[in-house]
Structure 1
Amino acid sequence: MTLIQPQQLEDLYDSKIEAHFVEIRLLREQRNADCSKTRKLPLEVLSTIFGALNCRRTRSYGLEWIAVTHICRVWRNTALGDPTLWVDFTDVPRKWIPEYFARSKAAPLPVRLLHTFSCEPLDELDSVFDHVVEHPERMKQLEIAAGGTFVGRLTKPAPLLESLVTSVQVNFPPNFLGGVAPRLKSVTCCGRLPPEASWLANLTKLECGEVHLEATYMSNLTSLKLDWGWGGLDATGERSQDISMTSLLLALEKMTMLQRLDLYFPNDIDTAAFPRPTPVYLHHLRSLTVHFNQVAIASIFNHLRADAIEQLDASWSQTISSTPAAIEPVCQFFESCYRGNDLQSLVQNFGRLEMHQSPTAEGIPSLTLRGYKPANFASFKSLVPRCTPRLLVARLDSSQSPIFPECNTIEELRISARFSKPILFGLPEIDVSPEPFCPSLRRLYLTNISFVPKARRVPQLKRWISKRKSTSKIELLVLKDCPLSKKDIESLRKVIDVRIL
């Protein structure tokens, strides 16, 4: 009889053990597949969920979403089989870039030519850029924040390109993208755009440093932002051109589809506008943001009209913040164009004045006057007669106390601080006025307000609340992020209903 050697016996047992492990692994996979609560989800839904996780990753190599590929075989195969989950590889570790690119297959790419710590493009991206040059049909977004030499190599049509962003000076060649980019809708460019370019034919959103205002593609815009330092170009696109109020109004007159206008007026703009029989009517304009440093520039509001303004944000330097000639045209424009319900809210936000229908909803009618002094509320209110403030919101910085305008219609007061304020909040004392501050006030909200030292602050608030006349009694006090002990809260509840958020 042949004796089995110890090594052979050990190998025999090891093979049997491994076989059992394989069987256990297969049973676990089968259990996950048959018993998982997500087993009935279509693969398209799983891909959508994975895509949402992918979009939430941080810029510091936040690849936590990839953990889903370790849950089960179905999840892994679904993630690996969806090329759109692997198209953005500019924020992943360098060693992963080739694998990411391979998994992206033929999906459209967001191409980002970015600075690194060495101010040079990543070497690992060179092959990707070479591929995009040969296959620009894969390019969906293009962001350039490094050298612009790569732009000169893009001479073929880019049928899927939707947005272009440059944060460095880039000179676009005449044959850029072969003149063909039918889906390009959005361009953000800190440099110059050519006066005429077929690849800009379908542009609807533009943020630009220097531009020819009479360019053909400007007439299709629905959103235009000309920020600080912008300038005009002549028809050749090589020389700067002085901007005048007249040339700007003529350009706006051709932008019949404009819905959003964000305009920073240059200091050297010629404010002399020729007499116009009718104003420039922007029928679709909904949002208007302007900033100017000269009182005369406010006259542009006398030459503009819109059907239904939803948001107006006007800001100016402090030197002209109290000049009626700078404020009145803004308010008159808003009054003539606003078609919504009466504005219900007044906001003092770190030194600026806002009017809202609701302080929390988005896309609601609002008027913001930054640089305006809230102490002049009475004069401002006379310029916006349709505003009936019911809610006053005061947002303060660490060194600021609110200047509360007297308003008999305020029913709710909300005070918040960017940093916890060691003072109370500067509410007008009942003792110094024969009539209570805001006699219609019913609700008081305090956020991030410090009551230190408590021995003085809490009794002061109690006294302020309790001394108000019965006809102007505050019914509710809401506290959020205001450190108070249970004893302090119970003390306040003796004079008012207190809620803690």
Structure 2
Amino acid sequence: MNPLHSQELVHHYDTKINAHFAEIRILREHRNADCSNTRKLPPEILSMIFGILNDQRPQYRHSKWIELTHVCRTWRNTALNDPSLWIDFVGVRPKWIPEIFARSKAAPLNLRYGHYNDIPHQVSFVFDHVAEHPERIKKLEIHSKGPFLELLNKPVPFLESLSVTTTDVTFPPDFLGGAAPRLTFVKCNGGLPPDASWLANMTSLECGRVHLEAPYLSKLTSLHLCRGWAALDARDGVLERVSIDMFLSVVENMPLLQLLSFVFPRWMEESPSSRSTPVHLPHLRDITADFHDPKTATVFNHLRVDRIERLRTAWAYQPSMDAVTLEPVCSFFERCYHGDDLQYLLQVGPDVEMHRYIGSTTAHTPVLLFADLPPTDLASIVDLVPRCVPRTFVTRLESHRQPVFALAECATIEELRLFPGHRAPSVFPGYTAPPYPCLRRLHLESLSFVPKAKRIPQLKRWIAGRKSATKVELLVLKDCRLSVKDIESLRKVVPVVELLIDP
């Protein structure tokens, strides 16, 4: 055969093959478009869905959008043409910035200044742009000192959130042009000016230093006093040592406060409060307090709220706690909690947590939590809150500890959840009187059943032997790595449900 003729045949067939591939690609595109359940969704709805994904799953930002845009042509066009999906410049690789900036068009941006050790040209041009067009800023984080702070001297009509982590920052007198009408959240590790018009609409504040009589405090609904915080006199800026009375003076100027989180510093003044009447914060619903000294928990003796919904306290570096130490916290909770559904108690290692009980398979709302402390007598602590009725008990015992169940005689606990740290022989020994006489559900997660020859029969005897107590009606297993044979063996004494491991 003529070699030239052979090459022509190869070219002829390759052309036909490529034409068939092109036709197949077109057919696949039509199939995806015509058979997709999302075909009838307008671009606006798709953009809303993509936006929710972007807000709730930060790992999907930027580079992960490539995966989304490869689903189909409609998704790609929608994602690439919606500026609101490309406004986040926090944690972006420099090489991506020009393309993301172009896709953002004129939408307000989320920026982080000082995130890169040396700001390359790909990053700096964005900050040069927004300095001239401050209406492009929606969320701003500043992590280093630099000229950018001085350049922000124009009003920022769309700025909602500002975070400044440098402790020695000095805000210029004309910062933000004195106008930030939508700025509601501010985080500042240093100190804010005692009087600044750009803080006029702030409702949420996280700070390292707070001016005692700053006028913007009166509008706060959320306050977080960071670790190592201090107070400044509003008139001369003198640093004052933190004390219970000084702390009460701070929150007294916040009548609208709904959420309060604070850390009392280790060097705090230990003198008790000299106040004769408590500070009344009628709207306060959520409190988180970290203490270094248990005696400072007496601050709760001087607080009053109309209705507490969540209270969390933690004591750092305390080897043991008792009911006497926790009494101010529990008394405050008992005075100010007016619900009637506090029926959940949780203990995980050294933590004690009480919840509003909703159900074993649904979410629950935290109400009271003592964290980072080993209670010496859990039962007496529970007794400090009489309306608490434990229904679900969650615990994690270290393998070297004795096989003793806390609150084992509690007649209201219906569900027991055991988490990692257990060893089956230690957890399910023989009992003359079965613990938790009203137990109906047993939840085991990541328990070691190796070797299974001894562990499984032991668990079966523990469940089947509860003749003098309520029968266990359900066994839930999660990540216990049991074989089908082991599961079937357990089903001879109790219904079994296997849960998937969280991704």
TM-score (normalised: structure 2): 0.85
Match of 1:188 in 2: 187
Per the TM alignment, residue 471 of structure 1 is displaced from its structure 2 partner at its CA by: 3.8
Match of 1:390 in 2: 391
Match of 2:217 in 1: 218
1:322-364 Cα deviation digits (max 9, x unpaired): 3444210100000011111242222112311111123776572
Percent identity over paired residues: 50
SS of residue matched to 2:123: helix
1:444-492 Cα deviation digits (max 9, x unpaired): 1111101122232222222322332344332322222112233333333
Q: Indicate conservation of the 8 Å contact 1:436/1:472, yes or no.
A: no
Q: 1:337 to 1:362 in 2, by over 3 A?
A: farther
Q: 2:140 is aligned with what amino acid?
A: L
SS of residue matched to 1:308: coil
Match of 2:130 in 1: 132
| Higher deviation after alignment, 357-366 or 330-339 | 357-366
Match of 1:108 in 2: 108
SS of residue matched to 1:494: coil
Match of 2:371 in 1: 370
| Higher deviation after alignment, 69-78 or 330-339 | 69-78
Per the TM alignment, residue 397 of structure 1 is displaced from its structure 2 partner at its CA by: 6.4
Per the TM alignment, residue 392 of structure 1 is displaced from its structure 2 partner at its CA by: 0.8
Q: In structure 1, what is the Cα distance between the partners aligned to 2:69 and 2:391?
A: 53
Is 1:477 paired with 2:475? yes
Match of 2:415 in 1: 412
Q: In structure 2, what is the Cα distance between the partners aligned to 1:348 and 1:78?
A: 48
| Higher deviation after alignment, 169-178 or 266-275 | 266-275
Q: In structure 2, what is the Cα distance between the partners aligned to 1:58 and 1:186?
A: 20
1:356-412 Cα deviation digits (max 9, x unpaired): 123776572521112443551221122111011111111456777775223122111
| Higher deviation after alignment, 336-345 or 372-381 | 372-381
SS of residue matched to 1:110: strand
Q: Matches of residues 4-83 of structure 1 in structure 2 within 5 Å?
A: 31=30, 35=34, 37=36, 38-55=38-55, 63-69=63-69, 75-83=75-83
Q: In structure 2, what is the Cα distance between the partners aligned to 1:399 and 1:162?
A: 51
TM-score (normalised: structure 1): 0.86
Q: Indicate conservation of the 8 Å contact 2:429/2:458, yes or no.
A: no
SS of residue matched to 2:277: coil
Coordinate RMSD, CA, aligned: 3.4
Per the TM alignment, residue 203 of structure 1 is displaced from its structure 2 partner at its CA by: 0.8
Q: 1:425 to 1:196 in 2, by over 3 A?
A: farther
Q: 1:381 is aligned with what amino acid?
A: V
Per the TM alignment, residue 69 of structure 1 is displaced from its structure 2 partner at its CA by: 4.5
SS of residue matched to 2:224: strand
Q: In structure 1, what is the Cα distance between the partners aligned to 2:361 and 2:296?
A: 32
| Higher deviation after alignment, 452-461 or 160-169 | 452-461
Q: 1:219 to 1:397 in 2, by over 3 A?
A: farther
SS of residue matched to 1:437: coil
Q: 1:230 to 1:397 in 2, by over 3 A?
A: farther
Per the TM alignment, residue 145 of structure 1 is displaced from its structure 2 partner at its CA by: 2.1
| Higher deviation after alignment, 39-48 or 127-136 | 39-48
Q: 1:140 is aligned with what amino acid?
A: K
Q: 2:47 is aligned with what amino acid?
A: S
Q: 1:191 to 1:308 in 2, by over 3 A?
A: same
Match of 1:426 in 2: 427
Q: Indicate conservation of the 8 Å contact 1:120/1:146, yes or no.
A: no
Per the TM alignment, residue 180 of structure 1 is displaced from its structure 2 partner at its CA by: 0.9
Q: 1:398 to 1:60 in 2, by over 3 A?
A: farther
1:250-291 Cα deviation digits (max 9, x unpaired): 221221111111111122323445544432111111111112
Q: 1:298 to 1:360 in 2, by over 3 A?
A: farther
Per the TM alignment, residue 494 of structure 1 is displaced from its structure 2 partner at its CA by: 3.2
Unpaired segments of 5 or more residues in structure 1? 1-5
SS of residue matched to 2:496: strand
SS of residue matched to 1:263: strand
| Higher deviation after alignment, 28-37 or 489-498 | 28-37
Q: Indicate conservation of the 8 Å contact 1:290/1:315, yes or no.
A: yes
Q: Matches of residues 324-339 of structure 1 in structure 2 within 5 Å?
A: 324-339=323-338
Q: 1:125 to 1:360 in 2, by over 3 A?
A: farther
Match of 1:487 in 2: 485
Per the TM alignment, residue 306 of structure 1 is displaced from its structure 2 partner at its CA by: 1.1
Q: Matches of residues 318-329 of structure 1 in structure 2 within 5 Å?
A: 319=318, 321-329=320-328
1:277-309 Cα deviation digits (max 9, x unpaired): 432111111111112122331211111111111
Q: 2:331 is aligned with what amino acid?
A: Q
Match of 1:3 in 2: none
SS of residue matched to 2:228: coil
Match of 2:99 in 1: 99
Q: 1:364 is aligned with what amino acid?
A: T
SS of residue matched to 2:195: coil
Unpaired segments of 5 or more residues in structure 2? none
Q: 1:27 to 1:461 in 2, by over 3 A?
A: closer
Q: Indicate conservation of the 8 Å contact 1:321/1:371, yes or no.
A: no
Q: In structure 1, what is the Cα distance between the partners aligned to 2:87 and 2:68?
A: 17
Q: In structure 2, what is the Cα distance between the partners aligned to 1:471 and 1:296?
A: 42
Q: 1:282 to 1:320 in 2, by over 3 A?
A: farther
